[in-house]
Every structure is written in structure tokens, then in C-alpha cells.
């Protein structure tokens, strides 16, 4: 609906939770017209937490910004027929369907592509065998929970930010563009299957964890907040704040040395341990010695003092924040042009992010509120499916479709 | 190089670490020709851990599979001219550059687009002001570390799997396809800027954390392994294994009740607490009561018994695994058609993942080994830049380019 880089594309989305809605919103924030359909009573995530004090879902609002919403009774055959017509409607940029609902019966690729042969359908599934999975169950088998969390902790530590849902959202959006490219060139549509579990396993493989386990025949131990194979850890300031300090390159060694006047101390470490702090392996082997120097320095200064010194020296570091601190942070949110304070109907005013991508040929569009359930039912039935007003009224009367009163 | 959905595209990549190399590899695994250039001595991540016992980087191998490698002395003007010619080489699917190196001087969009006006250049940066960041520093400000890890833990808990690097990789690959679509339609190239920090902040916003903090004016507490706003947690079996058990829908309530014969106990919870376990809020409010039923059942059975019952009932669950267990797991890796046992030169044989995407119109290509540094220097100089053999020999002699002996 905006004039972004994907203007002219239309994606119909049958979704819930994170991966599929975030993938659709990603395309919307680049200018595609994204229509989410839901059951007339709302989908599985309609009331999902976090919610406002009177029960409105902040979660749903966050993942459906800028989409158009149509609400249909999914148990009625007439409702299913309307959605089939919407998914397979003609038009060059239309005929794209993304879902994490079971792709069976009327929502199967076979049924839908019978109505539009060049349909592109993205099916996000749990595991490749079709079994149900969510980020939390997928993450359990990756191995990461057994090495996350404090050293000495017994048992798994789950991820709070769902890494595999987020990756699946972007990979799915990318796959739609790849398939649309192929369709533009050949006229051919296709089904794309993306299992959440395979997404997680492919990333775990790419990051070297499976290779390390097989080749070195070891299980990496739990390392707390230390970054494996180089230097990085959290430190506590005199006023009880926490900072993350890392070294990833020569420049970061010098900057950290300058920030804390560690030049001689670092040289002494190199001599004593016979290592080079300008190599990953050197830093990793000398990490305890490095901490013994950095820890008292951070502990003797306030967060402001530490921040000032690290920033001035160009070190690789960051302060830890809580969500509430982040929400009011001048640099990251309040003064960040990616954010706009939106009035989300039924919820209120708060800063909301646009796409993180800045395309040189387009102005970044401001984020738009999420729709109310069924907000665009009538305009979609009229403009896309060509239904006359009396027919739309009949569908409402028969409770085949719904929308806000 | 393979016959995938992106055959005919060529991306030149100047990269290190995770986001940029993983983005390039993602496109390669869909059939694009991806050429990674590195300094003749290897890039910042050439020896990055994990490494084999004799110091070969398993990390580098994991993130550069199937690419072609050209090694050039980046400090020599002749080396920079060769790479400029490579990045801006003619051809319909060529003229695409992805980098997380500083886009200054010869690598700036201005300098490169002067040689090819329709260049597409993706610049992955740390923060929007150009300052350096890695996943660990970006994650610190998102708020997630302060709510991750065991209840009662004091201080931040970092993510081990880098969520923002992974998201940036896929978002960057997606952005390249969007820009290439625009170029095909209009002839216009462009620069795309993607800040790692904005990627993390946009996802944190989408997931509702900033909205919750502002609207409800609270900081969500640390919840350990519990899933906020529904039901999910880890449990320990009689033989000391861990399983994740979740409820996200009505079906999962019934399945869990069937697996553990909890039907009456669940009904008693609903009556006593006056809640409905088939609602998110009901499960969340009754989570301690649910745990009091599930915990002793899991603790009284072995992992095999628990797995058998949960699987049979169709519950939403997963066993936790270590990386080594995962690497040898029959279902997830050994018998998963996404994986191929590759012989990675210098490292050895281990299972390696292809793309998790299954495109209906293409066979999924098997993963290919990562190149040795400079493995394709000569073929690239010859086939793409059209240099004769004697000129290539001279470049080697003058140490402008490098390659394996």
C-alpha cells in the first residue's frame, strides 16, 4: 500500500504467532500489500500476551502492522470459497500465499493451484515430517540451551528472543521474492516448504557447532557470558550497571587499552603467557588474565565514566538495558529515525519500528498501525473480489464474514 | 554455480564474521554464484574458532560453503582495481556487492557506482551512525539479556546463538533480491544500508517488548525457562534428561492430558482456579498448578518413556540435546535429507546442511565444501576479468593476488 520497493506485490497470509506474521510484515514494510485473513473469532494469537490491562494484545499489534485484515468464518464452505478466490485472484503481483496453517484440503497447494496455476505458496511447517513445532521446541534440540546461561548452572537455559522464528520470517520473505523472480521470468509458480526445525538446524550447521562436535568429538562447555574463541564478557560498574566489552580485532585491543590505560598491563600478559593479544587464540587463552585487569577498572567507575572512556577510545562495547530503559533510550529508540510514535487503536501511543532496511531509491515508509480484526473485510470483498454491496451485507448477515462494528 | 532458483545471479562479497557471509551463503545455496574476496593473508575471520586440533577454522568453513574465493592484497592499488573491476563487471545478473567492510574510499557506493551505474550494494553496518557493533553488543541493549537465564540470577545472560546476525543475514539476502527486482524493472541500481543494531531493535519492537514497556509501564521479570503468557517449561526425567513441554493451542492441552492421564487433574485446576486451560491467560495464571502435576510425572519416568507418551499423544514437546548428541541424531541430522556428509578439505568429514528452503520447481542442491583461501583466484581473473595467463602469473609474482600452492 505504500510506495516502497515492493509496491505492486500482494501477499495473502494465513498465519499465527511469529514466523509467518513477521515474514508478511517484513514484505509490507517494503511496500507490498499484505492481507492477513483470520477466523471471524480471531486466530490463535488474537489475544496473545503481552496484553494491555484490559486484555488487548500488544503482541498481535506488533506483528501485523500495516496489513489489511479480513475476517471470515473458516468453518463455512462459503468462507473458504471467498478466501480461495482471494488467494488465487488474478493480477501480475498477486497470487502469492504465505501460511503456517496446515496446508491440507482447501488450503493445500494442489487445491489452490488448480484455481491459479502460477500460484506461489509458502508453507512454513514445524518439522519436515509435518509435525508441530514452535521456536522453544526447535531450540531444545539445537544444543544451544545446554551451553547458555551461567557457568555451573544445571539444566537447559532457553532463548527469550526466538531466534528461529525470526530467521524463518526473513528466510520465508526472501523465498517469496526468489519465487516471484522465477515466475516473472518463466510464468511458473511453485510451492515452497520451510520447516522451522530445518531453519534452526541449518543455522546451527552454518555456525560450525555440528562440525566442531564431530571433528573435535567434544561438547563445548557452558561458558556463561564469555564469547568463545576471542574475548568478550559482561562487567559490573561501581553503580551496579552492566556493560558488555568485546575484542574482535586489533583495533579493539588498542582501543580498550587506551580506555583503561591498560597498555603496559596488556604487554605484561603477552609476555607472561607467551601469547599475542592481536590473535583470537591469544585473547581466548589469556581471557582470565584480561578479566583480572578489566574487572577492577570497571568496578571502580560508574557506568557513565566507563561509557565515556570506552566511547572516546572507540572500543567495542555496549551497556545492558532493560526493555523499559530501551523504550525510553534517546539514541536507540527516541532519536532513531526508524521509530515513529504510533497511536495503535485500542492500545495507545508508543514507539514502533519501520523496516531496518534503508533502500537508496526509496524513502523509508513510516510504520502504520495494525488493523483491527476484519477492518478491511468490506473493501477487500468489494475491490478485489468485485462483490456488490448487497452481497457483502448478506455475507455479514449470515456471519460468513466479520468486521468491526 | 548450481542450477537453483537464483542461477544467473552473481554476488561479490567482501565480508567477515557471520551476518554478511551467511547472507551470501544463503544466496549461494539457492543457486547464485557468490564470490568472496579476502585479503591475501585471509580476512579477520580466517582463523576464527571453533578450529580443528591443527588450527583450521571450522567456523570459516561453515559460513562460506559453495562460494568461490579470490585472494588479493587489499593494500595494493592494483589489488583494489582488480576487485573494483570484479564488483562492477558487466552482465545482467552481476553488479551486486554485499559487504560489512567499511564502505569508504574505493569500496564506497559512490566510487563503485561510478564504474557501474546500476550497481546494487548492500552495506551491513553496526549502528546507523556507522559505529562498530557485533551481535553481543547489539543484544546487550535490546533488553533480552536482563530477562534471560534462571530466575534469581543477578546480571545479564547473553545469547549463544547470535539472533541478530542470523536475522541480518536473511534480511540482507532478501533486500538484494528486492533491489534486483527493482533493477530488472527499471534499470536502476541502489545502495542498501542495513544496521545490525536496527535489525535487533526492529525485531524487539515487532515482538511487542517496547510496546509492553511503554503501555504497561513495567519491566517484565526474569521468568527462567517459562514461556510468557501461555504454558511451557523444561522438565527433568528420572534418568536426568531434560524435555521442553509447551501448550500453544487447545489441541496441545488435550494431547498433554492424554500423555500423562491428566484429564481429571486438569479439570480440577480449572475448577479450583476458576480458569480455562484452553486460553493463554488461563494457562499462564495456572502455570504453577500445571507444573505441580507434570513435574512428578516426568520425574517418575525415563526420557524414553516420556518421549513415547508425548509423541503418541501428539503433544508439543522436544527433548534437549547437546551439540554432540544433535550431530549424531538420527532424525534431526543423520536421516535428514537436508544434510550431506561432506569432506571439507583440511578439516574432514562431517554432516553439513543445505538450504532449509524446499522450492517445488527445483531439486535442493547438496551443499558444497567451502573453498580454500584464493582457490578460485585464477579462474575468476581469467573468466570474468578476461586476463591472459601471463598477466595472472605476473600478479602472483608481484603478490597482488594469491591462491593455494
pLDDT tens figures, B184-211: 999 999 999 999 999 999 999 999 999 9
Best to test chain B binding among A97, A208, A243, A282 (most B CBs inside 10 Å): A208
Question: Residues B121-146: what's their mean pLDDT?
Answer: 97
Catalytic choice (B73, B165, B254, B378) = B165
Report the mean per-residue pLDDT for chain B. Answer: 97
Asked if B178's CB is within 8 angstroms of A359's CB, the reply is yes
Burial of B335 (0-12, 13-18, 19+ CB in 10 A): exposed
pLDDT at B134: 97
Give me the pLDDT at residue B177, please.
98
> Exposed, middle or buried, B85 (CB in 10 Å: 0-12/13-18/19+)?
middle
ipTM above 0.90, yes or no: yes
Among candidates A142, A322, A350 on the partner chain, residue whose Cβ is nearest the Cβ of B211: A350
pLDDT at residue A1, as a whole number: 39
**Residues B397, B279: Cα–Cα separation, whole Å:** 72
- In angstroms, what separates the C-alpha of B128 from chain A's closest C-alpha? 9
Closest partner residue to A244 (CB to CB) among B136, B318, B359 is: B136
Q: Which residue has the higher pLDDT, B3 or B353?
A: B353
Interchain CB distance below 8 Å, A211 and B148: no
d(CA A227, CA A45): 36
Q: Is the pLDDT of residue B1 over 50?
A: no
Q: What is the average pLDDT across B41-67?
A: 96
| Residues of chain A neighbouring B207 (CB-CB closer than 8 A) | 18, 59, 62-63, 161-162
Please list the alpha-helical segments (H only) found in A207-364.
209-215, 250-260, 263-273, 280-285, 287-299, 303-313, 323-327
Exposed e or buried b for every residue in A240-268, given b needs 16+ CB within 10 A? ebbbbbbbbbeebbbbbbbbbebeebbee
Residue of B nearest to A131 (CA): B314
Please judge whether B163 and A159 are an interchain contact, meaning their C-beta atoms are less than 8 angstroms apart: yes
Supply the DSSP string of B54-106, one letter for each residue.
Answer: TS-BHHHHHHSTT-EEEEE-TTSHHHHHHHHHHHT--STT--EEEE-S---GG
Helix%, strand%, coil% for chain B, nearest 5: 40, 15, 40
pLDDT at B372 exceeding the cut of 80: yes
Q: What is the pLDDT of residue A301?
A: 98
H/E stretch holding A142: helix A135-142
Beta-carbon separation of A149 and B148 below 8 A: yes
Of A22, A156, A359, the CB nearest to B192: A359
Among the partner residues A18, A163, A192, nearest to B357 by beta-carbon distance: A192
Distance from CA of B372 to the nearest CA of A (A): 16
Amino acid A338: pLDDT: 98
With 0-12 CB in 10 A as exposed, 13-18 as middle and 19+ as buried, what is B386? exposed
Q: Is B229–A359 a contact, with Cβ atoms under 8 angstroms apart? A: no
Report, as an integer, the average pLDDT of A20-34.
98
pLDDT of residue B79: 98
- Give the minimum alpha-carbon distance from B71 to chain A in angstroms, rounded to a whole number: 20
Give catalytic residue positions of A: 165
The Cα A103–Cα A122 span in angstroms is: 10
Instruction: Determine, for residues A359 and B146 on separate chains, whether the beta-carbon distance falls below 8 Å.
Output: no
Between A177, A328, A357, which is nearest B194 by CB?
A: A357
Identify which of A51, A190, A353 has the shortest CB distance to residue B202: A353
- pLDDT number for residue A405: 67
**Predicted confidence (pLDDT) at residue B4 exceeds the cutoff of 50:** yes
CA distance A268 to chain B (A): 24
CA-based radius of gyration for chain A: 26
Q: Which residues of A are less than 8 Å from B256 in CB distance?
A: none
Question: How far is the C-alpha of A65 from the C-alpha of A354, rounded, in Å?
Answer: 9
What is the reported pLDDT for A356? 98
8 Å CB contact of A323 and B351: no
Residues of A in Cβ contact (< 8 Å) with B58: 208, 211-212, 215-216
Cα(B231)–Cα(B292) distance, integer angstroms: 13
Q: What is the pLDDT of residues A320-356, one digit of tens each?
A: 999 999 999 999 999 999 999 999 999 999 999 999 9
Region A284-297: mean pLDDT is 98
pLDDT of A2 > 60? The answer is no
Q: Which residues of chain A make contact with B194, given a CB cutoff of 8 A? A: 356-358
pLDDT average, residue stretch A180-199: 98
Torsion B280-B284-B286-B292 (CA) sign? positive
Question: B149 vs A149: CB contact, 8 Å cut-off?
Answer: yes
- Residue A320, classified by CB atoms within 10 Å of its CB into exposed (0-12), middle (13-18) or buried (19+), is buried
Q: Do A324 and B281 make contact, defined as CB atoms within 8 angstroms? A: no
CA distance A140 to chain B (A): 4
Asked whether the beta carbons of B377 and B400 are under 8 A apart, the reply is: no
- Decide if B332 and A197 are in contact by the 8 Å CB cutoff: yes
Amino acid at each position: 500500500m505504500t510506495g516502497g520497493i515492493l509496491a505492486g506485490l500482494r501477499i495473502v497470509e494465513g498465519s499465527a504467532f511469529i514466523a509467518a506474521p513477521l515474514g508478511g510484515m517484513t514484505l509490507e514494510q517494503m511496500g507490498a500489500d499484505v492481507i492477513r485473513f483470520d477466523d471471524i473469532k480471531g486466530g490463535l494469537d488474537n489475544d496473545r500476551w503481552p496484553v494491555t490491562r484490559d486484555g488487548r494484545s500488544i503482541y498481535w499489534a506488533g506483528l501485523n502492522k500495516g496489513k489489511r485484515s479480513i475476517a471470515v468464518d473458516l468453518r463455512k464452505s462459503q468462507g473458504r470459497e471467498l478466501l480461495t478466490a482471494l488467494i488465487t485472484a488474478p493480477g501480475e503481483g498477486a497470487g502469492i500465499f504465505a501460511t503456517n496453517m496446515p496446508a491440507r484440503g482447501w488450503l493445500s497447494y494442489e487445491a489452490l493451484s488448480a484455481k491459479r496455476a502460477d500460484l506461489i505458496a509458502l508453507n512454513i511447517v514445524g518439522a519436515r515430517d509435518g509435525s508441530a513445532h514452535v521456536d522453544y521446541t526447535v531450540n531444545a534440540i539445537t544444543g544451544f540451551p545446554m551451553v547458555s546461561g551461567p557457568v555451573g548452572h544445571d539444566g537447559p537455559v532457553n532463548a527469550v528472543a526466538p531466534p528461529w522464528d525470526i530467521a524463518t520470517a526473513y528466510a520465508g520473505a526472501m523465498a517469496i521474492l526468489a519465487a516471484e523472480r522465477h515466475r516473472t521470468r518463466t510464468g511458473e509458480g511453485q510451492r515452497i516448504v520451510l520447516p522451522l526445525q530445518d531453519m534452526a538446524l541449518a543455522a546451527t550447521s552454518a555456525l560450525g557447532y555440528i562440525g566442531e562436535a564431530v571433528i573435535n568429538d567434544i561438547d563445548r562447555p557452558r561458558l556463561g557470558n564469555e564469547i568463545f574463541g576471542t574475548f568478550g564478557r559482561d562487567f559490573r560498574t561501581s553503580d551496579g550497571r552492566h556493560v558488555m566489552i568485546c575484542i574482535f580485532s586489533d583495533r579493539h585491543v588498542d582501543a580498550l587499552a587506551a580506555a583503561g590505560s591498560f597498555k603496559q598491563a596488556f604487554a605484561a600478559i603477552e609476555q607472561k603467557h607467551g601469547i599475542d593479544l592481536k590473535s583470537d587464540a591469544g585473547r581466548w587463552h589469556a581471557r582470565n588474565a584480561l578479566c583480572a585487569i578489566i574487572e577492577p577498572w570497571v568496578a571502580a567507575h560508574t557506568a557513565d565514566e566507563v561509557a565515556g572512556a570506552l566511547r572516546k577510545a572507540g572500543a567495542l562495547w555496549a551497556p545492558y538495558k532493560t526493555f523499559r530503559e530501551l523504550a525510553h533510550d534517546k539514541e536507540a529508540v527516541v532519536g532513531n529515525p526508524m521509530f515513529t510514535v504510533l497511536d495503535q487503536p485500542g492500545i495507545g501511543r508508543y514507539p514502533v519500528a519501520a523496516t531496518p532496511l534503508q533502500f537508496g531509491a526509496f524513502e523509508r515508509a513510516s510504520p502504520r498501525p495494525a488493523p483491527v480484526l476484519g477492518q478491511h473485510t468490506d473493501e477487500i470483498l468489494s475491490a478485489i473480489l468485485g462483490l456488490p454491496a448487497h452481497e457483502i451485507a448478506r455475507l455479514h448477515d449470515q456471519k460468513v464474514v466479520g468486521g468491526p462494528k
